[in-house]
Amino acid sequence: MNDRTEVSNATLLQMIRTRLAVGSLFPVDGKSFAGKGTGQLCAVCGMPIFATEIEHEVRTPRAAYAHSTCHSMWVQESRALSESRQ
């Protein structure tokens, strides 16, 4: 996530949990393509992913982009959700 964002990791994790629970964010399995940011909006935090940042592109179940930190937390919470449903 870029330096201008004031969102703490705890707040971001809670936001991801809530959005996964209500279905406004889909679970991911960790598979992504990473590269230099292209200005896409992060599916997690909503901030642009600048060229100075790493951008993760998720392709399944649909295309989405995320900052490295956001993607890592998204994967972590997706796995936790999957385990809680078993």
Classify residue 16: in a domain, yes or no.
no
Main-chain phi, psi angles of 25, to 5 degrees = -135, 130
Residue 3 is assigned to a structural domain of this protein: no
Peptide bond into 48 cis (omega under 30): no
Three-state SS string over 41-63 comes to ECCCCCCECCCCCEEEEECCCCC
Range of the domain at 53: 31-86
The total number of structural domains that make up the chain: 1
Q: How far apart are CA 86 and CA 73, in angstroms?
A: 20
pTM, rounded to two decimals: 0.87
* Pairing between β-strand 54-58 and β-strand 33-36 as defined by DSSP bridges: antiparallel
pLDDT tens column, 24-73: 999 999 899 999 999 999 999 999 999 999 999 999 889 999 999 999 99
| 75 belongs to a structural domain | yes
Domain membership of residue 38 (yes or no) is: yes
